[in-house]
Amino acid sequence: MKNIPETMSAIEIKEPGGPEVLRQIKRKTPNLTEQEVLIKVAACGINRPDIMQRSGIYPPPPGASDIPGLEVAGEIISIGAKEQRWNVGDKVCALVNGGGYAEFVTAPSVQCLPVPPSLTFAEAASLPETFFTVWINVFERAKLKKNETLFVQGGSSGIGVAAIQLGTTMGSEVYVTAGTDEKCIKCENLGAKKAINYKNSDFQTVLLNETDGKGVDVILDMVAGDYIQRELKCLAEDGRIAIIALMGGVKAELNLAELLKRRLSISGSTLRPRSTEVKGYIARQLEKKIWPFISLGEINPVLDTVFPFEKASEAHQHMESGLHFGKIVLQL
């Protein structure tokens, strides 16, 4: 155990509102449980759920810190009494249940992953939230297989750049949407077979043309709303839609005959409320099946901007502007 101060700097949400409600304050350094590790945070990722929490529409689950932040990278400085894998001094990135915007955070030890030697802490901090989300929804729930096709709504987002790389690495063709021609080019350079500018092209028409009318096997959807009916028409026989966000609205009108006739399925999930056991399982799958590709440089973090810790408000403004490509990170 290294010297641990009683208090730490953290970014709290003063009250629900815009980016200006984020403020840097002093908080008590969190205490460990016996199956957790205490991480001295070097960098933390910015994610859409942080924006939603700040806006007052996505409260933290019971028992989680009210400090935002769901992914970090740094050095372990203390371990719980029952911890057997990790040691003080280990460099890890971790999915946390909250509290990431701080100098110190506790994490269930099973939700930690080693920082690949080739990565900086800022790069490592950009991985957990998006990689966990893509893995559980695309590969576990929607069961994307080698040689199948994946369509991702929002290819330039943190989720999108992760899905492009994981999908192509696991042997699938990946199609995406993005909001500018420049972003589309970047998505294709990252590995997407085709990126569709949704502002001047109809994704349904393009996808069906690209797949000779067959459609795609899996759709990772962050929009929902009235996109769902159009997405059903983009699915191949036995196709699957995995909904992970509702940026287009919570209601959709569906022709259920499409589901019956072509054996289609729709699932939805959010990661944050899932149990430690489930998140630990995802971590083990990523370490086994994806981390070797990161170490080889075949999968790379995609960082848009690294902001100083005290510029959290500016980081949130940048995410909400929609101008970013890839991940936004705070660095301590």
- Cα–Cα–Cα angle for 60, 61, 62, nearest 5°? 120
List all residues 6 or more positions away from 253 whose beta carbon is below 8 Å from its beta carbon: 226, 229
Amino acid (one-letter) located at 99: G
* Surface-to-core class of residue 260, CB atoms within 10 Å of its CB (0-12 exposed, 13-18 middle, 19+ buried): exposed
pLDDT at 2: 67
Instruction: Identify the H or E element spanning 189.
Output: helix 181-190
Per-residue pLDDT of the chain (332 residues; tens, 9 = 90+): 668 999 999 999 999 999 999 999 999 999 999 999 999 999 999 999 999 999 999 999 888 999 999 999 999 999 998 888 999 999 999 999 999 999 999 999 999 999 999 999 999 999 999 999 999 999 999 999 999 999 999 999 999 999 999 999 999 999 999 999 999 999 999 999 999 999 999 999 999 999 999 999 999 999 888 889 999 999 999 999 999 988 878 888 888 888 899 999 999 999 998 999 999 999 999 999 999 999 999 999 999 999 999 999 999 999 999 999 999 999 99
The answer to pTM > 0.75 is yes
Q: Look up residue 68 and give its two tokens.
A: 């935002």
Residues 44, 72 contacting (CB under 8 angstroms): yes
pLDDT tens-digit map of 53-71: 999 999 998 889 999 999 9
What is the per-residue pLDDT for 156? 96
The reported pLDDT for the residue numbered 186 is 98
Residue 249 pLDDT: 82
Average per-residue pLDDT for the chain: 95
Span 237-250, pLDDT tens digits: 999 999 998 887 88
Amino acid 1: pLDDT:
60
13-51 as b/e: b if 16+ CB within 10 A: beeeeebebbeeeebebbebeeebbbbbbbbbbbbbbbb
Predicted pLDDT at 90? 97
CA atoms of 193 and 105, how far apart (whole Å): 39
Domains of the chain (ranges plus CATH)?
A: 7-127+272-331 (3.90.180.10), 131-268 (3.40.50.720)
